[in-house]
Structure 1
């Protein structure tokens, strides 16, 4: 059995040399990495070893002996403890540099394509208060309803009122709603034995329109004073135009269930993005940072260099945000999406904006694209904006068979992006530069956008 360079519960002084991709400090003892929350490069810290594995360990920071020049004060340490804003202790300029380095790193290590140029990350002027959506658990603590967030790697709720990265109007609304639920003596969900009633408060707010949707996620369908509670909420919060109940009876950490009903008002809100109006329902995917989504999409359109004669395919089309935003610059947009409700929303959004050159269908790209190809549809540009798991290899192969001039790939996960770039390369599609865009300031997440074409 080989001897580890550190032991559990040992206390030692270490120097932090790097940040991990999740934003944890990395220190090394005889080349053995130790990951430490809330520690920054160039810091000398006193640390207690809490976990020792074969290849790396974890430490808890006891004190900072020498501070990093990049450290900034955090108004509430709970933002770090819960992982709401895990990089908020790092100056914003350095956050942007960290995200650029992340992308370079995966290109070198995963894709083995170090020759691709990674541009400087495009940041925000005000990198806080940007989230237009919140999903907040509600629990009973000492007889009182509390909202907040879970301590990292636990099911312990840390009460928080100001979430720093959320639209302040949403933070204020959560407190008002919580007080109304307390007055009506609504029972909070108990995770341990899957009992109680109210699980989460979900709020969406239109960045441009300020219309607000409140979704009360409950364990059971029967909501004793549901309508009365909804009325009380709307009286206190006139911006609220939609109050929904979503039912999730399962013992799971998935937030929403399949069943929903309107308690008051509409079942949607509207917002504007790049001059177009979008209908957003409770489960629609809509970028949580509206102004920065506009920056990302503008960059994507610039890379696409669209012409009036272009046919565009918008794979992973969601409610149509990308395809409808560019429809008036091209000949035709074809979109596809696996979620039926999103396709209905996209069709609705096309009508709403008087766009008649965009068609949306439900289905997997691997099935839809060959059918389109048979119908003689020949795209010049294919846009892809997949979820975190990236693109399926079969999708990339099918899409490349359509031989578009270029792909515009928007990614929210550098690791799966790097893997996908290798598959694109096998199909003879390459990129020479990648643009990171910071859609999630104060967190380790980074979006990238690039254009791929055949060499």
Structure 2
């Protein structure tokens, strides 16, 4: 397990016995920037909202000299009351949980075992929230945050907690969700796979840009619960790639010093006025390539070509500069159109031995180091006994992808670069005619990362065998057509065959594949009808989880294995309750019989592997293996 002290950015220590001053979130502080070493909000506590940050802008509490423990008061808590608390656990969003007079009290920026003085900020019938004013005695897992802006910036929730303690808590988070929400008894959850070192891992940042009075520019992240920008100019960010700070610094210089830059207004969300909204930066961790995106409320920026040259001169790794046109109200960062200004509108990165093209809009894991570990676990689960060796690129040129006739009302399948339609008499992945290839479905495929890694491993495992049935085919389903286009290019780039891409919503496509596999509506001429039921399904949905129709289709298809990759333990548990038929009241009703050979398909939860994809945040990803009970 990675140790918290390994390669840890240096943090400025604070004097014991002093209060942490309440300062505006975007004010500069005379702290040293952490040396290089190496975000979404979490789920809320069941039945409660996550505790809010101190509205006055206070940071984490300062350690103070110990004082005698105050006896809990049986009197009801009141807003403004100052109490002493000793939290015993963390809630799902990262807030500490204490008990006072039988009531749960949620306190942010505090570690279990701390003894604190806190001021009550909200009281509800069953719980209260409080803001810590001082740590009277630190708990065993408390550490000094590496970032001077911790608790002022909304990016991290757990820098005050030792890294081993973070990993242990994230495992408990998964176990609790599976037991409480999914009604899965003694779920087989492994220890969380941590990152060493757990710093400077993010390969993407979307930084709001604000011009302050006097012309200075603030660029950074929003303070918790606000749209006040916390400026990163002096300190940078301890969890994002350092080159992102370099791009931000170059843009800041332009906006503050160049005549066209000084004439560029920044966006006011309330009035829907101003031009420059965000700077979005993407980094290829393995290749070093960088893409900068300028999100604007309009058609262009003053002197934008000179600006692009300025950025490329200041940051030589910049492969391209683009502008994204977002004229919409609201807080969506990217708009529908991206236009190149200089260089390429995409970068390349390597993951698992393959190369992937990444545009400004592409979904690509923000921590590729941990993504490799997560995907390896997922594919080990899905391909157990099917292939040998680790991931490797295939050797065949081009991608064997299928076209489909949309006029018949079926989902569109994007053809490969050759545009050739597959011959129904020839198996995929090099299988001889008449042989049934191993069939894996990758739902929620994005730019094809998991699908192509699976194809590469299958190609490596079957290469040279020449035996009947040694072929494979991978079906990748993705609702965003631009992502499917990227996936198709990535398949060709890596010379992988046996992959087909379907553009459509998973909840629409999977039921159609299920009907085809049984020779029903959709026809016996479909690819699924030729292959029978799949050998495995990979589910990697967004945080909201799978739609009921997608889960029902999984039960209809009834593959021997389902691998569920999740970024939300609560929706993972809810969906596993359906697939494992636990009777949980949290499980949504699924329509359709979900039956195979006269009875309902039912799965057993075989293994769960949490992976710390976002160190120092309240998020955890995991891969879960489900095995068909009678399959």
2:485 maps to what in 1? 344
Quick check: 1:69 aligned with 2:140? yes
Q: Is the 8 A contact 1:181 1:229 kept in 2?
A: no
Q: Is the 8 A contact 2:118 2:133 kept in 1?
A: yes
Quick check: 1:157 aligned with 2:229? yes
1:19 maps to what in 2? 90
Quick check: 1:233 aligned with 2:311? yes
Quick check: 1:326 aligned with 2:404? no
1:32 maps to what in 2? 103
Equivalent of residue 299 in structure 1, options 377, 384, 393: 377
Q: Is the 8 A contact 1:84 1:163 kept in 2?
A: no
Cα deviation, 1:106-161, whole Å, max 9, x if unaligned, reads: 11211111321211000011101000000111111232111121111112112123
Counterpart-to-counterpart distance in 1, 2:330 and 2:125: 31
Equivalent of residue 274 in structure 2, options 180, 192, 196: 196
Equivalent of residue 356 in structure 1, options 487, 497, 503: 497
The structural deviation recorded for 1:199 is 0.7
Quick check: 1:430 aligned with 2:604? yes
Counterpart-to-counterpart distance in 1, 2:152 and 2:191: 29
Deviating more after overlay: 172-181 vs 114-123:
172-181
Equivalent of residue 280 in structure 1, options 344, 352, 358: 358
Quick check: 1:109 aligned with 2:180? yes
- Listed as ranges, the gaps of 5+ residues in structure 2 are 1-73, 388-436, 459-471, 517-525, 582-600
SS at match of 2:201: coil
The structural deviation recorded for 1:208 is 0.5
Q: Is the 8 A contact 1:202 1:216 kept in 2?
A: yes
Q: Is the 8 A contact 1:406 1:453 kept in 2?
A: yes
Cα deviation, 1:313-362, whole Å, max 9, x if unaligned, reads: 11101000001012033311111100000001111111000112111110
The structural deviation recorded for 1:372 is 3.4
Counterpart-to-counterpart distance in 1, 2:496 and 2:287: 21
SS at match of 1:121: coil
SS at match of 1:16: coil
Q: Is the 8 A contact 2:146 2:238 kept in 1?
A: no
Quick check: 1:174 aligned with 2:248? yes
Does the C-alpha gap of structure 1 residues 11 and 34 become closer, same or farther in structure 2, counting only changes over 3 Å? Answer: same
Quick check: 1:387 aligned with 2:542? yes
Counterpart-to-counterpart distance in 2, 1:175 and 1:167: 14
- For normalisation by structure 1, the TM-score amounts to 0.97
1:57 maps to what in 2? 128
1:454 maps to what in 2? 628
Deviating more after overlay: 82-91 vs 367-376:
367-376
Quick check: 1:366 aligned with 2:507? yes
2:59 maps to what in 1? none
RMSD: 1.5
Cα deviation, 1:267-326, whole Å, max 9, x if unaligned, reads: 111111111010111111000001110011111111121525521111101000001012
Counterpart-to-counterpart distance in 2, 1:55 and 1:68: 26
The structure where helix makes up a greater share of residues is 1
The structural deviation recorded for 1:222 is 3.2
Quick check: 1:316 aligned with 2:394? no
Over alpha carbons, which structure has the higher Rg?
2
Counterpart-to-counterpart distance in 1, 2:327 and 2:613: 33
Equivalent of residue 193 in structure 2, options 122, 130, 142: 122
Deviating more after overlay: 311-320 vs 430-439:
430-439
Q: Is the 8 A contact 1:79 1:163 kept in 2?
A: no
The structure where strand makes up a greater share of residues is 1
Quick check: 1:265 aligned with 2:343? yes
2:154 maps to what in 1? 83
The structural deviation recorded for 1:83 is 2.4
Does the C-alpha gap of structure 1 residues 421 and 370 become closer, same or farther in structure 2, counting only changes over 3 Å? Answer: closer
Counterpart-to-counterpart distance in 1, 2:124 and 2:149: 27
SS at match of 2:151: helix
* Residues paired across the two proteins, number: 453
The structural deviation recorded for 1:439 is 0.5
SS at match of 2:310: helix
- Listed as ranges, the gaps of 5+ residues in structure 1 are none
Counterpart-to-counterpart distance in 2, 1:4 and 1:389: 40
SS at match of 1:369: helix
